Chains A and B, each alone.
Chain A
Amino acid sequence: MSRIGVFICHCGENISATVDVVKVAEEAGKHEGVAYSTDYKYMCSEPGQTIIKQMIKEKGLTGVVVAACSPRMHEPTFRKACSEAGLNPYMCEMANLREHCSWVHDKSDATTKKAIDLVRMLVEKVKFNKPLYPIKVPVTKTALVIGGGIAGIQASLDIANSGHKVVLIEKDPSIGGHMSQLSETFPTLDCSQCILTPRMVEVAQHPNITLMTYSELEKLDGFIGNFKATIRKKAKSIDEKLCTGCGLCTTKCPTKKIPSEFNAGLGFRTAIYVPFPQAVPNKPVIDKENCRYYQQGKCKVCEKVCPTGAIRFNQEDELIEIEVGAVVVATGFNVMEPSEFPEYGYGKYKDVITGLQFERLASASGPTLGEIRRPSDGKIPKKIVFIACAGSRDPAKGIPYCSKICCMYTAKHAMLYQHKVHDGKSYIFYMDIRAGGKNYEEFTRRAIVEDEVNYIRGRVSKVYEENGKLIVKGVDTLLNARPVEIEADMVVLASAAVANPGSEELAQRMHISYDAYNFFSEAHPKLKPVETNTAGIFLAGACQAPKDIPETVSQASGAAAKVAILFSQDELSREPVVAVVNRSAPPVYSTCVGCFMCATACPYQAIGEELITDRKGNVIKKVAKVNPGLCQGCGTCVAFCRSKSIDIQGYSNEQMYTEVMALLNDE
């Protein structure tokens, strides 16, 4: 026989102003199985909780219903109070009288009636509640960080410095990411490489970090605390232990005209190459697609010149399986190929370049050693036009979002240009100047006022070449709203930041969600910005949305903190609100018929098989089994199950049915 206590909260006046709380308590008291019922001004306060605890002990309550605010607000509070009084916390339920009743209705008898109904539903449900216990999961205290840009570097270092092991994988031959390509950084104009390269070295030397470059995630199985990652270590065609990084092979390689990825296509590299001189690790890889030996079967010049005999042409990709407890995804972003807009002539005119290419031109380590020289003839451009929002905020190009970083880097580009070409003139076509951020607005003002960059508010309709000049046709929408034509020597497009190619497949491989633009989705846009919807997988940097370096680093540290929190425990305790497949006595064993519709429906790959055997080990029945570590309690399998064999603990079919019936069987 149930002995249920009902506790009605006034929530100050939030509930009591519209609901007759005294009457609700009175009516609840009359309900079958209710042993005690009362109301109080603030149930969540210390004295309120004391009432609950006292009554559990005094009246020997077997279940508790607190009729107050949303369970999202105070369910943990009341469950904790119950458990302190010796009651299983999952025997406590909340009726939401505030958000679901008093806040959305006027004071009336009907409102009070609804409150009474809500309480009755929960009383009936609690009668079917069963004691539940948190699920314990062991934790492997190693983190996998995917992506070796600034986000991955920061996250790896923070996790490693908190005393945990990290495996950092990077698909390119070197870590460093886009940040290593940048010249100076806004808003301080400090050199990107100068602040980044020490961190890269730190990663390589940290005793807690295992760095795997030229490696990609092949497969991710398992669940929070217990992931199993398969990593494809692509063949570098060298023996890393023997290679000293002397670089002789790269100077002798006969295939020299491969566009350099690091220089955004503005320079060349060889087939055996180190992406840039400060690369970490500073050891070359052979690009098989372009290598003369791999393509034509003859050459092997690198092998002949290598003083340590480190070249290994027969090396194959390795698949390495590692166990990790958490994953930080930091795979970064890409820049939109401006060939999407033929009107700007990118790809047609050599001197129309992207912002990333301009970074390389302005960088001391770039193809021009930091001099601003245009790609077509190497001349210093005297008139340069920057086009902001090339693709961004343009639904016609499929990108309605703001790429966020372009306003700032375009201001920086114009500034760097003015600092390097004193007699040059720079123009920026913009929609709005979005300079929100510490010292950002001051920075763009500096570009306008001190460096005399000409900001033109308006869009560019066309860039074309005539008589050796790039004619930029646009509009100045301020003052007289007049058409503008500028004869430029070079045009720089702030092309939109887009998700990396392959990010969709990567997300599917890890079972995390992604948005319409293939950026990975955070669990909550405000309160869970680094978590994904899959427990144990976290996000850092521009793989989630375009962002600048300070923001990326903050998020990476945030993700690292989340990993450290996870690793601070030896066992994980999880809410037991998970699906279970029922089991019963022989000869039925379970009503599950083993159709595995649930397994196909499960978004988290949480459902596997279980073989029920007799004592001799003969298989009697094959049924579904939910892995409580993976299950997120979404209930999709429950809806799919044809034989009603699956229940969510705490929200069983029986409990839901009782709630509904309590509502329909109006007393």
Chain B
Amino acid sequence: MKIGFYPGCSLTGSSREYKESILAISEKAGIELVEISDWNCCGATAAHNLNKELSVSLPARNLALAESDGIEELVVPCAACYNRLVMTQHELNEDEKLKSQIAEKLQMPLKNKLKILNVLQYLEEYFVPRLDELIKKPFEEEVACYYGCLLVRPNQVIKADRWEDPMSMDVIMQKLGAKPIDWAFKTECCGAGFSMSKTEIVGELSGKIVRNAVNQGAKAIVVACPMCHSNLDMRRPAINSYLKTKIEVPVMYITQAIALAMGMSEKEAGLQRHFVPVSFSVNC
């Protein structure tokens, strides 16, 4: 089985363990993820704040490239990339004129009918039905499933299950054997791009998220977005200084939890790349 794969910049840099784990579990499940050839930036944050045309044409080129590679389904693990690609597809389908303009600019044909999947949708479709067969060691931990903003918004386009209190990740984790906790910060802002410019804001916003997760008994925070991960993990010193205490709860990608459950080693899952140490090998 061949499915298209758009990594985006994060998965080649700060969150390469996300890529490693998703490729590892896919390979083990017999799914070949084919990277789009010559892909470019999705335009996240910078482009759609500054230049409308660029914010559409950057993702559109990736969509057109995927089409020319003969891809029908495309997995986009980074939530920001996913959001930009889906939004672009939506905007172009709503506006035929814009679509032909962009296609002309790209000098590429664009049918714009690609099925774009984020990681949760990819897992739901290709892993959840086969979990019994794939899981070797159930991931029996209390986890806080953290969705962040981009996986569920804007709801008019994304159509997430319950955008104020989504459940899709909780359901997957539960099937993995975990106990998803009931908590309140599933979709709160992590501070996003302030990670670079105003780290103390990230410390406060992400701090509140981490604090609520810990108070509700989470042993790990599970995410599906590189931005969320880096803010909750890499910015832990800022979080700790905001909370005036040292919080040890690790943050991991959902694909890493699946990798562990499928019997892979911590290294295969890429757990060693985190700032906050993760170790579930004893329990699993």
Contact (A341, B183) CB under 8 Å given A396-B155, A464-B212, A466-B212: no
Give 20 A-B contacts (CB < 8 Å), ordered by A residue. A341-B164, A342-B162, A342-B164, A342-B165, A343-B164, A343-B165, A348-B182, A396-B155, A462-B164, A462-B188, A464-B183, A464-B184, A464-B185, A464-B212, A465-B184, A466-B184, A466-B212, A466-B215, A467-B215, A471-B184
Please indicate the chain B residues that have their CB under 8 angstroms from the CB of A464 in the complex. 183-185, 212
Given A464-B212, A466-B215, 14 more pairs with CB closer than 8 A: A342-B165, A343-B164, A343-B165, A396-B155, A462-B164, A462-B184, A462-B188, A464-B183, A464-B184, A464-B185, A465-B184, A466-B212, A467-B215, A471-B184
Q: Determine the chain A residues whose CB is within 8 A of the CB of B183 once the complex forms.
A: 464
In whole angstroms, how far apart are the Cα atoms of A348 and B188 in the complex? 19
A371-401: contact bitstring with B at CB < 8 Å (1 yes, 0 no)?
0000000000000000000000000100000
Which of chain B's residues have a CB closer than 8 A to the CB of A467?
215
Tell me the bound Cα distance from A646 to B155 in angstroms. Answer: 51
- By a CB distance below 8 angstroms, the chain B residues around A341 are 164
Q: Quick one: which of B155-190 are within 8 Å of A by CB?
A: 155, 162, 164-165, 182-185, 188
Encode A580-593 as 1/0 by CB contact (under 8 A) with B: 00000000000000
Give the distance in Å from the alpha carbon of A341 to the alpha carbon of B164 in the complex: 8
Docked pose: A465 CA to B185 CA in angstroms: 11
What's the minimum C-beta distance from B180 to chain A, rounded to whole angstroms? 14
**Using Cβ atoms and an 8 Å threshold, which residues of chain B touch A396?**
155
Within 8 A of B (CB), among A447-472: 462, 464-467, 471
Render A464-482 as a binary contact track against B, CB cut-off 8 A, 1 for contact: 1111000100000000000
Say what secondary structure dominates the interface of chain B.
loop
Chain A, residues 343-354, CB within 8 Å of chain B (1/0): the string is 100001000000
* Residues in A whose Cβ lies below 8 Å from that of B185: 464
Complex Cα–Cα for A396 and B165 (A): 14
Contacts of A471 in B (CB 8 A): 184
A309 to B81, CA, bound (A): 75
Query: Closest chain B residue to A462 by CB distance?
Result: B184
Contacts of B184 in A (CB 8 A): 462, 464-466, 471
Interface residue ranges of A330-347 to B (CB < 8 Å): 341-343
Number of A-B contacts (CB under 8 A): 21
| Residues of the A chain whose Cβ atoms lie less than 8 Å from the Cβ of B182 | 348
Chain B 205-253 residues near chain A, CB threshold 8 A: 212, 215
Minimum CB–CB distance from B233 to chain A (whole Å) comes to 23
Q: Which 4 A-B pairs have the closest CB atoms?
A: A464-B184, A342-B165, A343-B164, A342-B164
CB-nearest residue of chain A relative to B165? A342
Residues of A within 8 A of B155 (CB): 396
Provide the residues of chain A in CB contact with B165, threshold 8 Å: 342-343
> What A residues does B164 contact at CB under 8 A?
341-343, 462
Q: CB-CB < 8 A to A348: which residues of B?
A: 182
Provide the A400-429 mask, 1 if CB < 8 A to any CB of B, else 0: 000000000000000000000000000000
The distance from the CB of B84 to the nearest CB of chain A, in whole angstroms, is: 23
Instruction: Tell me the smallest distance from the CB of B174 to a CB of chain A, in Å.
Output: 17
| Chain A residues within an 8 Å CB radius of B212 | 464, 466
Query: In the bound complex, how far is the Cα of B181 from the Cα of A466, in angstroms?
Result: 13
Nearest A residue to B164 via CB reads A343
Residue in B closest to A342 when the chains form the complex, CB atoms: B165
A466 to B211: give the CA distance in the assembly, Å. 10
Give chain B residues whose Cβ lies under 8 Å from the Cβ of A462: 164, 184, 188
Shortest Cβ distance from residue B162 to the other chain A in the assembled complex, whole angstroms: 6
Q: What's the nearest-Cβ distance from chain A to residue B249, in Å? A: 16
Of all chain A residues, the one with the shortest Cβ separation from B183 is A464
Chain B contacts for A343, CB-based, 8 A: 164-165
Q: How far is the CB of A376 from chain B (nearest CB, A)?
A: 16
Task: Using CB atoms, name the residue of chain B closest to A344.
Answer: B164
- Taking CB atoms and an 8 Å cut-off, the chain B residues in 182-203 that contact chain A are 182-185, 188
Min CB gap A98→B, angstroms: 45
What is the distance, in angstroms, from A653's C-beta to the closest C-beta of chain B? 44
Nearest Cβ distance between residue A338 and chain B, in whole angstroms? 12
With the chains together, A343 CA to B188 CA distance in Å?
A: 11
How far, in Å, is A477 (CB) from chain B's closest CB? 18
Q: Which residues of A contact B162 (CB under 8 A)?
A: 342
Q: How near does chain A come to B251, taking the closest CB pair, in angstroms?
A: 20
The docked-state distance in angstroms from the alpha carbon of A348 to that of B162 is 15
In the complex, residue of chain A having the shortest beta-carbon distance to the beta carbon of B215: A466
Q: Which residue of B lies closest to A465 (CB)?
A: B184
State in angstroms the CA–CA spacing of A342 and B160 once bound together.
Answer: 14
Chain B, 122-170, CB within 8 A of any chain A CB: 155, 162, 164-165
Closest-CB distance, B148 to chain A (whole angstroms): 15
How far apart are A488's CB and chain B's nearest CB, in angstroms? 14
A467-B211 Cα distance, complex, nearest whole Å: 12
A342 to B165, CA, bound (A): 6
In the complex, what's the smallest C-beta–C-beta distance from B132 to chain A, in angstroms? 29
- Among B165, B182, B188, max chain A CB count under 10 A is at B165
- Give the docked Cα–Cα distance between A342 and B167 (Å): 11
Please name all residues of chain B whose beta carbon is closer than 8 Å to the beta carbon of A466 when the two chains form the complex.
184, 212, 215
Closest CB in chain A relative to B242 CB, distance in Å: 15
Assembly CA distance A465 to B212 (angstroms) = 10
Q: Which of B162, B165, B184 has the most C-beta atoms of chain A within 10 angstroms of its own C-beta? A: B184
Q: How far is it, in angstroms, between the C-alpha of A348 and the C-alpha of B182 when the chains are bound?
A: 10
CA distance A466 to B182 in the complex (A): 11
The CA of A225 and the CA of B200, in the complex, are separated in Å by 75
Separation in Å of the A391 CB from the closest CB of chain B?
A: 12
Complex: A381 Cα to B206 Cα, angstroms: 31
Enumerate chain B residues within 8 angstroms of A342, measured Cβ to Cβ: 162, 164-165
Chain A proximity of B243: nearest CB distance (Å): 14
The answer for the CA separation of A341 and B163 in the assembled complex, in Å, is 10
- Most chain-A CB neighbours within 10 Å: which of B164, B183, B185? B164
* Residues 309-361 (chain A) with a chain B CB within 8 angstroms: 341-343, 348
The 0/1 profile, CB within 8 Å of A marked 1, for residues 56-77 of chain B is: 0000000000000000000000
Report A601-636 CB contacts with B as 1/0, cut-off 8 Å: 000000000000000000000000000000000000
B204 CB, nearest partner CB in chain A, Å: 11
- Give the CA-CA distance A464 to B165 in the complex, in Å: 12
Q: Nearest Cβ in chain A — how far from B190, in angstroms?
A: 15
Q: Which residue of A lies closest to B167 (CB)?
A: A342
With CB as the reference atom, state the residue of chain A lying closest to B166: A342
A466 to B165 Cα, complex, angstroms: 17
Across the interface, name the chain B residue whose C-beta is closest to A467: B215
Distance A494 CA – B184 CA, assembled complex (angstroms): 21
With both beta carbons as reference points, the residue of chain B lying nearest to A345 in the complex is identified as B184
**How many angstroms between the C-alpha atoms of A467 and B217 in the bound complex?**
12
Shortest Cβ distance from B124 into chain A, in angstroms?
20
Cβ of B163 to closest chain A Cβ, rounded Å: 9
A348 to B165, CA, bound (A): 12
Give the residue name and chain of the A residue nearest to B188 (CB).
A462
Residue of A462, A467, A471 most packed against chain B (CB within 10 A):
A462
Residue on B with the closest CB to A466? B215
- Measured in the bound complex, the distance between the Cα atoms of B182 and A464 in whole Å is 10
